[in-house]
Chains A and B, each alone.
Chain A
Amino acid sequence: MTALVIAEHDHGTLKGATLNTITAAAQCGGDVHVLIAGHNAAGAAQAAAAIAGVAKVLHADAPQLAEQLAENVAAQVLAIASGYSHLVFPATAHGKNVAPRVAALLDVAQVSDVTKVLAADSFERPIYAGNAIATVQSLDATKVLTVRTTGFDPAATSGGSAAVEAVAAVADSGKSSFVGSEIAKNDRPELTAAKIIVSGGRALGSSDKFNEVLTPLADKLGAALGASRAAVDAGYAPNDWQVGQTGKIVAPQLYIAAGISGAIQHLAGMKDSKVIVAINKDPEAPIFSVADYSLEADLFEAVPALVKELG
């Protein structure tokens, strides 16, 4: 029994989500191999080889893998999939894009957003925006999984000494091409990996206020900034800051929700945080039902006061 982890990387380095995925793959009970599909991604392959618990790294290098197009990456996984009992992807935008394509080509079902591995074929996963937890058993020979990264600790980035083996790259599908990207510049910690998150809702009122009020607090705490769907839809914060069922799923040590009412959709993305602080002037806001510390106050006064108090 061997699990293949499909690494998410930026060619030079591995993305953090890959480390949590490796931990989940190891819990499936066999050896763990890692696939690096990319172009000039030797750096990522070396990083994968050094991870504790990784037995082998497979490296497919070709220009058509550079942009991580689903058609090409899925074909690459399929080309080497035989012999693996588990194909494990992080439940990130990239993993979610590719994994079902692989599963369908293998004619197997996929288990999405695994939060716990119970046995080689049994898993826990949240459904209905995290309002219920399903225990499921896969009846297929090959298990295709995506892993909710906040459910697993990251694997240690050193202590391993896996061999890196080159594998033949698949041909370009020719059906899709990369045109361009707009990646938001961000000096802050990555939202899904941050220890502290300061998150704002519609109550902030404008994009200017959002930044003016929350940025000093985030700076003070070395925190990532997040937002509710309402704040994102209103244009106060960029899309990729959205925390929730349909945005990022986070589980930091400390989550500060300012001016967020706490819709089911939002709670699904953050209720596994260790400590939740809610600042809201509405005493009936549902966010208070999950908060460890509730402060009923106007955020425009409370947040600056909090910055001051933190010195």
Chain B
Amino acid sequence: MKALVPVKRVVDYNVKVRVKSDGTGVDIANVKMSMNPFDEIAVEEATRLKEKGVLTEVIAVSCGVTQCQETLRTAMAIGADRAVLVETAADLELQPLAVAKLLKALVDKEQPQLVILGKQAIDDDCNQTGQMLAALLGWPQATFASKVEVAGDKVRVTREIDGGLETLELTLPAVITTDLRLNEPRYVTLPNIMKAKKKTLEVVKPADLGVDVSPRIKTLKVGEPPKRSAGIKVPDVATLVAKLKTEAKVI
């Protein structure tokens, strides 16, 4: 069976982003971009399922600008067999609902039994796409997965929930979103990067898939978060306790 693994190109998690002074967004010109960390976990999980013989093919998908090809090459260096880029214009703000619709069109075409996504992208912090895709397909979902076991036409998923863990069993086909502790993604090696360059990368447009990708949410402004006023250094524990009692009055 096949799996589809959507991956997103985002500002690298180590970069401290700056808000543009005109309030139109954050400045992402000339900053380092990488694969969204949760998506790396998704590609790793699909690759491991293939290595176990559960999957026969892993297809990486990305939606966005031309440069997302680099992200797809990384996915193929980890272990994806081929890739599809749904290329959109650079000035378009692609939102989760539009991505979910694009992915649905690809699922209809490729007929995978499993779609594995990251639980959220670290740029828009939405945490929506996987659930929306499951809804559009009418498939069951298991979000925030920390363990995945496929057995026959079922998949058993342990999920991280508030207060602990819960285990669900879904009937395939299904959508899974990954949490941090699902696995540790492997490092891509130079030979695998070279091999990934030879793998197929197909480019399609949203119009080819018949999907309207216009945004439904308008960003009016992007601003700095409120600054905290500068704190003070305390020399010892006694001073700290005194300050907390008399100045901050929190204990």
Contacts and interface: CB of A to CB of B under 8 A. Distances in A.
Interface residues of A, number: 88
A126 interface: yes
B36 to A, nearest CB: 11
Contacts of A132: 17, 19, 26, 222-225
Which of B16, B159, B167, B225 gathers the greatest number of chain A CB atoms within 10 Å?
Answer: B225
A120 B135 CA distance: 26
Interface in B34-62: 38
A206 interface: no
Contacts of B84: none
B222 A127 contact: yes
A79 interface: no
Which of A127, A137, A297 gathers the greatest number of chain B CB atoms within 10 Å?
Answer: A127
Nearest to B137: A104
Interface stretch (A48-56, A80-88, A180-188): A180-188
Contacts of A218: none
Contacts of B125: 112-113, 126-129, 245
Interface stretch (A34-42, A93-101, A158-166): A93-101
A66 interface: no
A25 B224 CA distance: 25
Contacts, number: 251
B132 interface: yes
Interface string B226-251: 00100111101110110110001011
Interface stretch (B65-73, B94-102, B190-198): B94-102
Interface in A149-183: 173-183
A207 interface: no
A274 interface: yes
Given A131-B17, A175-B170, A177-B169, A183 B164 contact: yes
A293 B246 CA distance: 13
A176 B16 contact: no
B166 A271 contact: no
Contacts of B238: 309
Interface residues on B, range: 35 or more
Interface stretch (A57-65, A69-77, A208-216): A69-77
B165 interface: yes
A20 interface: no
A243 B216 CA distance: 31
B126 interface: yes
A134 to B, nearest CB: 5
A93 B223 CA distance: 27
A289 to B, nearest CB: 8
Contacts of A302: 237
A270 to B, nearest CB: 11
A199 interface: no
Say whether chain B's binding surface is mostly helix, strand, loop, or mixed: mixed
B224 A103 contact: no
A240 B163 contact: yes
Contact of B169 (A130, A134, A179, A305): A179
A231 to B, nearest CB: 13
Contact of A101 (B17, B134, B236): B134
A37 B240 CA distance: 47
Given A71-B140, A135-B222, A293 B164 contact: no
Contact of A100 (B132, B156, B168): B132
A264 interface: yes
Contact of B216 (A101, A138, A182, A186): A138
Contacts of B228: 271, 276, 290, 292
A98 B130 CA distance: 11
Contacts of B130: 100
Contacts of A253: 250
B131 A101 contact: yes
Contacts of A93: 144, 159-162
A104 B225 contact: no
B240 A129 contact: no
A176 B161 contact: no
A5 to B, nearest CB: 18
A94 B163 CA distance: 11
Interface string A278-311: 0000000000101111111100001001100110
A126 B225 contact: yes
A130 B225 contact: yes
B80 to A, nearest CB: 23
A18 interface: no
Contact of A136 (B13, B141, B143, B219): B219
Contacts of A275: 244, 248, 250
Contacts of A130: 225
B167 A175 contact: no
Contact of B160 (A74, A100, A239): A239
12 contacts: A100-B127, A104-B100, A105-B135, A109-B215, A110-B97, A110-B126, A112-B125, A122-B220, A127-B124, A133-B225, A174-B171, A178-B168
Q: Which 5 A-B pairs give the minimum distances between C-beta atoms?
A: A100-B131, A104-B132, A109-B216, A104-B135, A100-B128
